[in-house]
């Protein structure tokens, strides 16, 4: 599955609910997912790693990012292509 297919899957399944929630509330959900991923990474650092849970948190974070992109009209594939392929990525990161 590529980025566009995933973004469409999320749109097909959740768009009516997501758009009714709005971007601000959706961003809060996204922020919560960052926290859950941080907790999973912290457990990993302490040697309490659960790889399946870590993978789930990454998937959740990606889903909420796609959700936010959908309700704000951003095509993630196009955005990534323009920034990281066409423009060569952010400067000063090497």
DSSP character at residue 87: S
pLDDT (0 to 100) of residue 93: 58
Domains along the sequence of the chain with CATH: 22-79 (1.10.287.1080)
Cα dihedral 82, 85, 87, 91 in deg (nearest 10): 120
CA distances from 72 to 38, 48, 52, 68 (A): 25, 37, 30, 6
Q: Which residue has the tokens 């912290």?
A: 42
Show pLDDT as tens, one digit a residue, over the chain (94 residues).
999 999 999 999 999 999 999 999 999 999 999 999 999 999 999 999 899 999 999 999 999 999 999 999 999 999 999 999 998 777 765 5
CA distance 85 to 42: 32
């Amino acid at each position: 599955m590529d980025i566009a297919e995933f973004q469409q899957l999320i749109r097909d399944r959740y768009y009516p609910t997501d758009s009714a929630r709005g971007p601000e509330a959706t961003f809060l959900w996204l922020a919560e997912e960052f926290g859950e991923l941080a907790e999973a990474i912290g457990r990993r650092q302490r040697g309490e790693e659960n790889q399946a849970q870590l993978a789930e948190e990454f998937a959740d974070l990606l889903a909420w990012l796609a959700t936010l992109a959908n309700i704000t009209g951003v095509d993630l594939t196009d955005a990534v292509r323009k920034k990281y392929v066409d423009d060569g990525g952010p400067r000063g990161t090497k």
